[in-house]
Amino acid sequence: MQNDDYSQPLFNALPPAVVALALAIFGVEAFLSLADRGIIGGPEAIGWRVQAIQDFSFFPQVLAWLFETGNWSIEHLKRFVTYPFIHASLTHAAFVIVFLLALGKLVGEVFGNLAVLVLFFACGIFGSLIYAGLVGGRQPLIGGYPSVYGLIGAYTFILWVRFKAAGENELQAFTLIGFLMGLQLFFAIFFQVGFDWVADVAGFAFGFVLTPALVPGAFQRLLDRMRQR
């Protein structure tokens, strides 16, 4: 008779950093979705999502205003790290959470929890800066796609290293981002979804470039090479 161990969990444990980020996004979206439907807060709560976008999203003109006024207060700087937690709808947030759980698990298992947090926030910040510089305008940037695309960049780097070590075609590592960018282009052409994809691509690129520095011991090896020169 086969002796199966049914005590094993159905899903492998997720890195705590991934769980924390996913719960934060879910919690904010659940609160706003309930408010949209008038389940909490009454009739006045229907406008809470709009107010949250006004208070916590990233507006391109804010960056220029910061440099002009020199007012680098937390009230304005917070937008660089809060906008990934504000979404346009439940569907928008759900897709971000799916990507975060899938890619965050893969990246977290290789590089650890701290790397996941660094990638999530650093790529989100970089994506917003590029968005402000290239797109501008008054359309706010919301949602966690630039941050999770940073995780895609990290995962792509992992695949790139593996393919290179195996002597296979390294371009295979870029299959996922190529597919996603194809979808972005399709929707941009036929549905006029805006230019948020600029921040997404920037987040991916920064994630790919930043990942080697997150490898344990990478900084020390860099210092050693500099000393040898």
pLDDT higher than threshold 60 for residue 221: no
Tokens of residue 218, six digits: 């990478």
Q: What is each CA distance from 167 to 164, 170, 172, 209, in whole angstroms? A: 5, 8, 12, 21
Q: Which range (2-6, 29-33, 54-58, 116-120) has the least confidence?
A: 2-6
Which CATH fold would you assign to the domain 16-228?
Rhomboid-like fold (1.20.1540)
pLDDT higher than threshold 80 for residue 47: yes
**Mean pLDDT within 171-198:** 76
User: Phi/psi class of residue 217: alpha, beta or left (left: φ > 0; alpha: ψ in -120 to 50)?
Assistant: left
Listed by start position, the domains of the chain span: 16-228
pLDDT higher than threshold 50 for residue 222: no
Distance CA 19, CA 219 (A): 28
> For the chain, what is the mean pLDDT?
85
Through-space distance between the first and last CA atoms of the chain, rounded to whole angstroms? 65
**Closest to 208 in 3D by CA, of 122, 144, 142, 128:** 122
